[in-house]
Structure formats: C-alpha cells, structure tokens
C-alpha cells in the first residue's frame, strides 16, 4: 500500500491527516492473555524472541485484537550486545543479564556473533507478509547510550552510575563501546528495513540520567551518526527518536540528531513540547501509562489534553513509556475509542 494510504507512515512523513494514528510501546506483551499463553508454552523471554514463528505471532497479536495503526517488532534492545559478543540471559523477576560486564572487561575481548540477529530478520519477514495492508510496520533498536549502560554494568540499574563513572574516567574506552553499538545498529536497522519494516524507532530509555554536556556527547552525537548512516542507505524511511527523560534537552535532540519524528515521555508537558519543538516535526506520545491503568475520566482528560496540545502538528498518539503488565484490556479499548472518536 502506498505510504499516503498508511495513516501512521504518512504522519511520520510529516502529513497531518484528519485522524490521529495510534500504537503503544510494548503493545505486544504481558497484559494480553494470548501473549501469556504463548510465553508459557515457549519458556523464557529470549526463547520467545528468537523463535521467528513465535515472535511474529506476538507482534501480530495486538493488531488482531485492537487494530492499531502500527505494529512494533517483538524483540529486545539487547540483541545488539548479544551480537557484539556478550552472553544474554533473562533472570525471572530480575531482568536481563549480560556477561562479561564491560565495567571490568575489554570490548576487544568479545567475539562478535552477528548470526544471533538472523532470527530477528526472519521475524520481520514473517510479520511483513501477514500484516494488514493499512498497518505500518515499525522496527527498532536501542540507542548507544542506553545499550551501553547494560553492557558496562551487565544489568539494568536505577541511576546508570557505573556507566556514567566509566564515561567520565575513561572516555576513550567508553567511546569505543558507543561506536561499536552505533555501527552495528546501523547495519541492524538497515537489515530490518530490507526485510520489511517501514519505519524505525531508536529507544534511549536512560537518556535522562546524563548531564547536558554528556547528553550532547553520548546521546545526541551517536544518534546523529546512526540517523545519518541510515539515511544514506534508506533516505525515505522515517526514524523516530525517543530520548526518555531528556526534558529540557528535547529541542536540542530534535534539531541536532536528524530524526524525522520525536517521542516524548509522560513527564513532558505536551503544550510546552508543541511550542518548543521544530515546527511541523511529528511528535509521538505521551500518555502516562498509569493514566491508562486508571481509565475512566482520568484517562479521558489526559487524552483530551494531549490531542488538543498537538492539534496543529503531525501527531502519533502513544504512551510516554511502555504499557504496564497490569493494564486492563478494557482501558486500552477505551483509549482507542477516545483517540478515534
């Protein structure tokens, strides 16, 4: 289907249609009973994400149930360090683990294993063949800063302290990690595009932990290199940047990275964002996931504020972060009705 007939893709390309497209970060996941059933059958998260048939089914589940305007590939941002050579596992109740952690190991000691990305590309092919014609297919990767925080610490953390210390104490060594992630991310997203995705999103979930100078060095500059590299290969494929927690640094990110659209989290005032971000740049967001859990009038009021704030620019309705596992399905249905009324 031509891009003009795909609502989400047309908005990412800067159009402002009468309807607002809608998709949700983590829309394929634990709040859906069909996902929980398949997860129980397949076992661990990594087993599910690297089984192309299962991962394609998970990607398609929320499209079948809700008819979102966009389908987001079911995978994980840590597939890149896994391909760079770190071992990846998911501990029940504790999240991902990468070994060896690079806080005390050298990047050069890792043996690249890019074949670990092949199941992702097969998943993309299967989903692309099965999606409704009007649905935009989104691929994604993690931005170098956020991915590197896991690579250095070997796990997630509340303040990314170990990685911030390393970036200050040994910026040359840390830059090698950032550069390795960035280079592989260009190849990774390019391969997703070649396999069938129509737009890509860069998740920088921990961008908010950096001081302004470090934000310029470790978020804006590496993201700009990825966007530039992708535009050489795929000049017409939109790139969404999502620097969670960037706050007042959002305008600089929007101006300097070259992204086509910007995702904003729930802590950003949508009226402020509409006023300070580049004119006509598509904005994605930014409903608080807890407002979705609350439902009712709280949800309706929040939706109205977001829609009215972005009424004069291209806007993709989304959450300010991922949908939470205890989100009632009927509240998702209420959200869809409110956005599409």
Residue of 65, 76, 122, 179 marked catalytic: 76
Phi-psi category of residue 85: left, alpha or beta, with phi > 0 → left and psi -120 to 50 → alpha: left
Mean pLDDT of 267-281: 97
Residue of 31, 35, 69, 150 marked catalytic: 150
State how far the Cα of 124 lies from the Cα of 214, in Å rounded to an integer: 34
Question: What is the greatest pairwise CA distance in the chain?
Answer: 55
Is the pLDDT reported for residue 337 higher than 90?
Answer: yes
Catalytic status, residue 76: yes
Name the nearest CA neighbour of 46 among 72, 77, 2.
Answer: 77
* DSSP count for the chain of H helices, then E strands: 16, 9
Is the pLDDT reported for residue 4 higher than 70?
Answer: no
Q: Which helix (H) or strand (E) holds 187?
A: helix 171-195
Segments making up each domain of the chain, as ranges: 41-284
Q: How confident is the model at residue 92 (pLDDT cuts 50, 70, 90)?
A: confident
Helix (H, G, I), strand (E, B) or coil at 298: helix
Catalytic status, residue 26: yes
Catalytic status, residue 116: no
Mean pLDDT of 267-287: 97
Long-range contacts of 259-264 (CB under 8 A, 24+ apart): 259/202, 259/223, 259/227, 260/12, 260/13, 260/14, 261/11, 261/12, 261/314, 261/316, 263/201, 263/318, 264/320
Catalytic status, residue 255: no
Q: For 194-213, how does the pLDDT look when each residue is reduced to its tens digit (9 = 90+)?
A: 999 999 999 999 999 999 99
What CATH number was assigned to the domain covering residues 41-284?
A: 3.20.20.210
- Average pLDDT value over all residues in the chain: 96
Tokens of 338: 């409110």
Catalytic status, residue 39: yes
């Amino acid at each position: 289907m031509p891009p003009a007939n795909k609502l989400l893709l047309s908005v990412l390309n800067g159009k402002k249609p009468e309807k607002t497209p809608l998709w949700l970060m983590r829309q394929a996941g634990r709040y859906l009973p069909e996902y929980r059933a398949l997860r129980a059958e397949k076992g661990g998260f990594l087993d599910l994400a690297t089984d192309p048939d299962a991962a394609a089914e998970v990607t398609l589940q929320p499209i079948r149930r809700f008819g979102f305007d966009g389908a987001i590939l079911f995978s994980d941002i840590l597939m890149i360090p896994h391909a760079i050579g770190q071992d990846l596992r998911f501990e029940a109740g504790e999240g991902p683990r990468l070994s060896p952690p690079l806080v005390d190991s050298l990047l050069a000691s890792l043996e690249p294993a890019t074949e670990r990305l092949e199941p992702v590309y097969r998943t993309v092919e299967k989903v692309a063949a099965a999606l409704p014609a009007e649905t935009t297919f989104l691929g994604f990767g993690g931005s170098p800063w956020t991915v590197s925080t896991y690579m250095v610490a070997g796990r997630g953390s509340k303040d990314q302290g170990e990685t911030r210390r390393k970036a200050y104490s040994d910026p040359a060594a840390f830059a090698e990690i950032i550069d390795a992630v960035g280079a592989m991310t260009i190849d990774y997203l390019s391969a997703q595009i070649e396999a069938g995705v129509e737009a890509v999103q860069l998740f920088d979930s921990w961008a908010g932990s950096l001081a302004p100078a470090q934000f310029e060095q470790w978020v804006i500059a590496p993201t700009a290199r990825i966007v530039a590299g992708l535009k050489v290969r795929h000049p017409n494929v939109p790139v969404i940047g999502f620097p969670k927690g960037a706050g007042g640094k959002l305008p600089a990110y929007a101006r300097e990275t070259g992204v086509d659209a910007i995702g904003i989290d729930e802590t950003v005032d949508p009226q402020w964002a509409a006023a300070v971000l580049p004119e006509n740049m598509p904005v994605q967001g930014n409903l608080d996931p807890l407002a979705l859990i609350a439902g009712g009038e709280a949800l309706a009021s929040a939706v109205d504020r977001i829609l009215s704030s972005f009424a004069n620019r291209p806007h993709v309705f989304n959450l300010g972060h991922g949908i939470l596992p205890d989100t009632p399905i009927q509240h998702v249905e209420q959200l869809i009705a409110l956005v599409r009324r």
